[in-house]
């Protein structure tokens, strides 16, 4: 038997080896991205482990050996934990892809602070955030042709308030209950007057200031598409821009504003739209007016919008706000000459990357001189593609990060009034539905958190995951979406459906790119009933399961959407996003079934005269 002192030396040697290996793992530089899985033990440690096991088995009692194995297992477990710690820290040094949500404190809890503690002065960072804090954080609710149920909004508004929102910019368009001569402007499924009162009351209870939006020159499709108002179009064939020189235009706009403000008593701001005014000054009447007044198109725009803004301010003592894009091409002197700085507040919008490039220093200098009130507008959803049904949170986060750089850069010269986080459900009145409000709530939460605390690290994301009651994984990047995140916030079922659809479409695309399909199950093969059964089976072995899953998704989507939207919105969304893909799968399945029934094939060529004669 080896003396007890020698045994202690062996234990001490093992401990030293383990500690050296642990320090080596922490200090080793990263050689590229890896999965968040414990790295295997090195051959050296494995060799040392087997050597000690053999020696101890020959020299120690079974009880002593068992204790040693337990101690050794504890050391190795600690090494693995430190490996996970190191890998997670590597991930946090880049924009996050997502965050794992834990119900109980564990190894990963608190690691989000590592990034903040290393290389940053926490106190200084806090001061910078507080100095650059935006007073108003307004959430845009786009209702165009897809009104969420009032009961849903009643459950949503408390969450928005808890996430840091201070108000709502409500773009009603055809969802507002116009009456009298304006009744045709409302869709058949528009809100009732009582619904508006309920929405405003719930907003007030949750300390959310409401700013209604009325379009007054551009994006007036919901008005100009109608027979009753077609004569007011600037271009007869394009129902987007209203003619500013038509004598009936200003009375119509005033009537719309009157009804909007009658149902929104006590508000402080009214947004009067005025973005993307295409084709301005092209009708015969406007061209004659420009010639007579010696105006340019920018002068015509200013002349019209000044009438609208003056009416709002003089009649109701409410501050008008308008989008800024038309002002970008208007000279400073023209803005000053019209005294716009005391009349309107401008809302500067940019929804994608490249804010510094598109909104140059000279534009900010012009605005800081011309306007007393300047807002900024980002996008938390609905700004990537008109047919998009799911939000890429990382893309939206990049937009907000750039905006906060703008705020930091101009904090000494521009007292920004606040920020509006827009969330579009359509690109315009004629466009299809894009990213629905409920599926965009995680993006909204992440970006509200970022503009408030300037953080999107592990700790901030874990906090958001808990607020949204997510029990698995909060995904930020669609490239890494492999399974649907499960949360429990108002409308979370719609969020889950959107993810499942994205994943299913990826699986379908992968199947259709399979060489067995691209080479043997093409439209040509199907048309001529000529395909190898083996390749058909190999290429489309997942088709039946995908068809089953997609059919179930349709059923689940209808249930989820019905909790939030009316039957018309549900049908529109499913008809556009689900039905075409399902029909395509069903048609392919039927075709392949027929292909597999064929046992005898003709001689080539398929179009030979001899074959036709036979």
Position 457 scores a pLDDT of 86
Q: Any residues with CB less than 8 A from the CB of 431 and at least 6 apart, and which?
A: 386
Query: What's the rounded Cα separation, in Å, for the pair 173 and 560?
Result: 25
Residue 337's pLDDT band, with cuts at 50, 70 and 90, is very high
Q: What is the mean pLDDT of residues 127-152?
A: 85
Q: What is the mean pLDDT of residues 159-188?
A: 97
Residue positions annotated with a catalytic role: 276
**Rg for the chain, CA atoms, rounded:** 32
Q: Is 550 exposed, middle or buried (0-12, 13-18, 19+ CB in 10 A)?
A: buried
Least confidently predicted of 42-46, 97-101, 336-340, 482-486: 42-46
Residue 435's pLDDT band, with cuts at 50, 70 and 90, is very high
Query: What's the rounded Cα separation, in Å, for the pair 500 and 446?
Result: 21
Q: Is 175 exposed, middle or buried (0-12, 13-18, 19+ CB in 10 A)?
A: buried
Of 513, 576, 507, the C-alpha closest to 547 is 507
List helix spans (H) across 379-532: 393-410, 441-453, 458-467, 492-512, 515-520, 523-527
Query: What's the rounded Cα separation, in Å, for the pair 190 and 151?
Result: 15
Residue 610's pLDDT band, with cuts at 50, 70 and 90, is low
Residue 55's pLDDT band, with cuts at 50, 70 and 90, is very low
Which helix (H) or strand (E) covers residue 475, if one does?
Answer: strand 473-475
Question: In the predicted model, is pLDDT for residue 240 greater than 80?
Answer: yes
Q: What is the mean pLDDT of residues 261-288?
A: 95
Residue 74's pLDDT band, with cuts at 50, 70 and 90, is low
Q: What is the 3-state secondary structure (H, E, C) of 331-381?
A: CHHHHHHCCHHHCCEEEEECCCCCHHHHCCHHHHHHHHHHCCCEEEEEEEE
Residue 77's pLDDT band, with cuts at 50, 70 and 90, is low
Q: For all residues of the chain together, what is the average pLDDT?
A: 84
- Beta bridge partners, 100, equal 473
- Beta bridge partners, 473, equal 100
Question: In the predicted model, is pLDDT for residue 124 greater than 50?
Answer: no
| DSSP label of 308 | H
The set of long-range contacts for 577-580, using a CB threshold of 8 Å and a minimum separation of 24, is: 577/389, 577/501, 578/501, 578/550, 578/553, 578/554, 579/554
Measured between alpha carbons, how far apart are the two ends of the chain, in Å?
Answer: 95
Position 474 scores a pLDDT of 82
User: Beta strand pairing status for 98-100 and 473-475?
Assistant: antiparallel
Residue 100's pLDDT band, with cuts at 50, 70 and 90, is low
- pTM score of the predicted model: 0.80
Q: What is the mean pLDDT of residues 134-143?
A: 97
Position 345 scores a pLDDT of 97
Q: Do 569 and 524 touch, CB atoms closer than 8 A?
A: no
Query: What's the rounded Cα separation, in Å, for the pair 138 and 417?
Result: 11
Question: In the predicted model, is pLDDT for residue 529 greater than 90?
Answer: yes
**Helix 567-577 vs helix 579-597: crossing angle, to nearest 10:** 40
Residue 460's pLDDT band, with cuts at 50, 70 and 90, is confident
Residue with more model confidence, 68 or 546 = 546
Alpha carbon dihedral 322, 323, 324, 330, in 10-degree steps, equals -60
Residue 7's pLDDT band, with cuts at 50, 70 and 90, is low
Question: In the predicted model, is pLDDT for residue 110 greater than 50?
Answer: no
Query: What's the rounded Cα separation, in Å, for the pair 545 and 553?
Result: 12
Q: What are the strands, taking DSSP E only, across 158-208?
A: 167-171
User: Beta strand pairing status for 98-100 and 209-213?
Assistant: unpaired
Query: What's the rounded Cα separation, in Å, for the pair 467 and 455?
Result: 16
Residue with more model confidence, 129 or 176 = 176
């Amino acid at each position: 038997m080896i003396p007890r002192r020698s045994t202690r030396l062996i234990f001490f040697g093992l401990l030293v080896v383990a500690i050296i290996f642990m320090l080596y793992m922490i200090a080793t530089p990263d050689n590229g991205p890896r999965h968040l899985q414990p790295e295997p033990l090195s051959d050296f440690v494995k060799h040392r482990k087997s050597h000690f096991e053999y020696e101890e088995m020959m020299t120690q009692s079974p009880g002593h050996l068992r204790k040693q194995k337990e101690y050794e297992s504890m050391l190795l477990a600690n090494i693995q934990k430190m490996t996970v710690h190191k890998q997670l820290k590597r991930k946090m040094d880049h924009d996050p892809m997502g965050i794992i949500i834990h119900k109980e404190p564990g190894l990963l809890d608190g690691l989000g602070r590592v990034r903040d503690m290393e290389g940053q002065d926490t106190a200084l960072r806090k001061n910078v955030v507080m100095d650059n804090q935006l007073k108003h954080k307004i959430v845009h609710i786009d209702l165009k042709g897809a009104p969420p149920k009032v009961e849903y909004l009643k459950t949503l508004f408390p969450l928005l308030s808890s996430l840091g929102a201070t108000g709502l910019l409500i773009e009603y368009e055809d969802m507002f209950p116009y009456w009298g001569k304006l009744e045709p402007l409302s869709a058949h499924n528009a809100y009732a007057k009582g619904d508006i009162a309920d929405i405003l009351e719930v907003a007030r209870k949750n300390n959310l200031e409401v700013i209604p939006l009325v379009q007054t020159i551009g994006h007036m499709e919901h008005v100009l598409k109608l027979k009753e108002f077609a004569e007011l179009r600037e271009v007869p064939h394009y129902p987007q821009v209203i003619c500013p020189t038509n004598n009936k235009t200003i009375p119509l706009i005033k009537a719309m504003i009157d009804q909007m403000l009658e149902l929104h008593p006590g508000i402080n701001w009214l947004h009067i739209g005025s973005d993307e005014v295409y084709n301005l000054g092209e009708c015969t009447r406007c061209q004659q007016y420009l010639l007579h007044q010696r105006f340019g198109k920018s002068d015509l725009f200013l002349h019209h919008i000044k009438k609208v803004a003056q009416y709002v301010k003089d009649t109701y003592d409410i501050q008008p706000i308008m989008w800024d894009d038309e002002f970008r091409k208007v000279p400073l002197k023209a803005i000053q000459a019209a005294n716009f700085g005391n009349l309107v507040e401008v809302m500067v919008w940019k929804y994608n990357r490249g804010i510094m490039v598109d909104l140059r220093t000279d534009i900010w200098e012009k605005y800081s001189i011309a306007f007393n009130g300047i807002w900024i507008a980002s996008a938390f959803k609905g700004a990537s593609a008109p047919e998009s049904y799911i939000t890429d949170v990382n893309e939206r986060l990049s937009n907000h990060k750039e905006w906060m750089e703008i705020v930091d850069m101009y904090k000494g010269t521009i007292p920004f009034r606040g920020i509006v986080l827009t969330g579009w459900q359509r690109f315009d009145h004629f466009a299809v539905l894009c990213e629905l409000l409920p599926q965009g709530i995680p993006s909204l939460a992440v970006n509200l958190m970022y503009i408030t605390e300037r953080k999107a690290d592990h700790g901030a994301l874990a906090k958001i995951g808990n607020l949204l009651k997510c029990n698995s994984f909060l995904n930020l990047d669609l490239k890494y979406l492999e399974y649907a995140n499960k949360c429990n916030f108002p409308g979370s079922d719609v969020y889950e459906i959107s993810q499942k659809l994205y994943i299913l479409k990826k699986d379908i695309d992968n199947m259709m790119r399979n060489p067995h399909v691209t080479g043997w199950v093409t439209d040509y093969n199907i048309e001529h009933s000529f395909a190898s059964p083996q390749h058909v089976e190999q290429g489309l072995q997942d088709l039946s399961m995908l068809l089953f899953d997609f059919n179930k998704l349709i059923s689940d989507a209808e249930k989820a959407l019905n909790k939030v939207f009316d039957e018309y919105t549900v049908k529109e969304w499913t008809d556009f996003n689900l039905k075409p893909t399902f029909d395509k799968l069903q048609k392919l399945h039927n075709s392949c079934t027929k292909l597999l029934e064929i046992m005898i094939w003709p001689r080539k060529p398929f179009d030979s005269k001899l074959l036709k004669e036979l």
